[in-house]
Amino acid sequence: MQDTTIGTQSMLVSLEQGLPRQSTQLKEQAKKIETDNHTEAGVVKANAHYWKKKDPKNPKKEIDGLQKLKDYHNQYKTAVHNLARYPYSGGFYLCPAASVEDLLKVQEKFDALRPSVLMDWADNVFPDLHDSASHRMGSLFEESDFPDLSECSKRFTARLTCMAIPPKEQVARIALISQASQKLLMDHADATSKAAIADLHKSIWKDLMEPLQQVVTVFEKDKPKIYESLLGNLMEIANIVPSYEALTADPNLMKAAQDIKAAFGNITTEHLRSSEEARKMALGSAKSLVASLQPFARKFV
């Protein structure tokens, strides 16, 4: 018999990311504004940003000098979220066992990519921002306070933590404590796991039904606006549902994902935009699926 406990069917995942210091507080300037305007202390907050500047081609547009580093972080976060999207506790997310191998590949990819991202920023972005800082920040610029390249390199971090969930018996044995305290720890670990699974189950059904209902809502309009995300969001969830089969132990949820993929897996946005017949078929399929799945989803959503 397959072990379907949360500890054997998933891992805990946490992604911690860091960026160079982005601004410095202007406490004296904020205090002066408060005094001049007779406000209470703490009403005004003022900051000077190190890395922002106006776009020379469009003065109304602002350029974020950390955008390359932020793009790396956002891409890493998205890749992890696609595999471990549902929270467990304390900032950790559940990664189903079926997705662990892919998660480790994501970690390997982005760990290898980070040095080149930093080097590109250090060579092509940092020098201009450093040299122009006194002009951009005016009298607010202080050379001793401006982050140097060494500091920026240390602060640009990305750490993915993956760890197994210890069985509740192990949790109780981590310290020499009374039997009453051991039982308390075991009960807490058990309750945390059960709550995480219940929330996971509810979230998956919700994430599946909401975009499905959105398909109905859109295609019931006379002139529907069809975006890539209309089916994209639905298929994204339907494709990951099988990874959670052991955790949810819900055959109705698995069948729902299969039926959605069968109904919409081969339909393109372009076809829906150009064909009224395709839109009618999609609407009919979505309505039928909503009607057949609602009795099961209602238990959780």
Query: What does the pLDDT read at residue 286?
Result: 94
- The predicted pLDDT at position 1 comes to 40
C-alpha torsion sign, points 287, 291, 292, 298: positive
Provide the phi-psi class of 111: left if phi over 0, else alpha when psi is between -120 and 50, else beta. Answer: alpha
Q: Are 148 and 65 in contact (CB under 8 A)?
A: no
Count CB neighbours of 138 within 10 A. 9
| Beta-carbon count within 10 A of 40 CB | 7
Given the DSSP bridges, would you call strands 10-18 and 23-25 parallel, antiparallel or unpaired?
unpaired
Torsion of CA 73, 76, 78, 83, to 10 degrees: -150
* Owner of token pair 């998933």: 10
> pLDDT tens digits for the chain (301 residues)?
444 567 678 899 999 999 999 988 888 887 888 788 988 888 888 888 999 998 888 888 899 999 999 999 999 999 999 999 999 988 899 999 999 999 999 999 999 999 999 999 999 999 999 999 999 989 888 899 999 999 999 999 999 999 888 776 666 666 667 778 878 877 887 888 889 889 999 999 999 999 999 999 999 998 889 999 999 999 999 999 999 998 899 999 999 999 999 999 999 999 999 999 999 999 999 999 999 999 989 887 7
In this predicted structure, what is the pLDDT of residue 176? 64
Q: What is the pLDDT of residue 35?
A: 87
Supply the Cα-derived Rg of the chain in whole angstroms: 26
Give the closest residue to 45 by CA, choosing from 64, 25, 61.
Answer: 25
Output the CA torsion 160→164→169→175 (10° steps): -40
Return the pLDDT at 7: 65
Amino acid identity of residue 284, one-letter, is G
DSSP 99-142: GHHHHHHHHHHHHHHHHHHHHHHHHHTHHHHHHTHHHHHGGG--
Which candidate, 8, 123, 121, 10, places its Cα nearest to that of 73? 121
What spatial distance separates the first Cα and last Cα of the chain, rounded to whole Å? 30
Asked whether the beta carbons of 22 and 51 are under 8 A apart, the reply is yes
Burial group, residue 232, by CB count within 10 angstroms (0-12, 13-18, 19+) = exposed
Ramachandran class of 226: left when φ > 0, alpha when ψ lies in -120 to 50, beta otherwise? beta
How far does Cα 271 stand from its chain's mean position?
30
The pTM is what?
0.82
